[in-house]
Amino acid sequence: MTAKYKYVGPVKSKKPLVINDKKALWLMRMIVGEGGRKCSEEKAAVLCWAITNRWFLWPGRRYYRTFIGLMRAFSQPINPRWMTGGDLARKYFGRRPAAASRLRRRARMCALKRRHISLGIIKVVSLFQKGELPMPKHLVDGVPQRFSNWASLKNTKKNNPHGFDVDGDWTFEDRNLHPGVVMVIKD
């Protein structure tokens, strides 16, 4: 049985998304980069759903041809532009170059093999790949599963009060999202 993620809403329908093994590995790398090697299963689940919502609901998604391309562009730890030689390889939004240790960590994230990823993260992504990972129970503005971003930056909670906390990261809906929802379809 193959699980597909599909957009349902008034905007022109987009092609369903199947999480194959390559996409699953990049999801795991993104989760390790964003949540650490011991990322909780709850946070890992939210990250899977948030990036998938972003793929389907974010108007800027049209600039990315692939799900992996969008994921890598959105998640700083696996974004090529933030790596050695990239135009953003500096300390966050400052002018100084990023520490060598940070650049090495980003390179390690992109090279992680499945065998080096925690069983909890593998479990969550495997469930997501099969379409069996429940949507987080949180509601944003009364609409289920409408969240597409996460951050632990200063003032994120204040600037985006419509979100919810998951292990210290504030998860929220971007305000420029298309109307509609993402659903799992099993063949």
Give 78-95 pLDDT, tens digit per residue: 999 888 888 877 765 566
Q: Report the alpha-carbon distance of residue 120 to residue 155 in Å, rounded.
A: 30
Number of helices (H), then strands (E), in the chain: 6, 7
Assign 142 a pLDDT band (cuts: 50, 70, 90): low
pTM of this prediction?
0.90
- What is the per-residue pLDDT for 187? 73
SS3 144: strand
| Mean pLDDT along residues 108-126 | 95
Q: Report the alpha-carbon distance of residue 161 to residue 131 in Å, rounded.
A: 30
Do residues 109 and 78 make contact, with C-beta atoms less than 8 angstroms apart? yes
- The two structure tokens encoding residue 45: 């689940």
Assign 54 a pLDDT band (cuts: 50, 70, 90): very high
| Mean pLDDT along residues 21-34 | 96
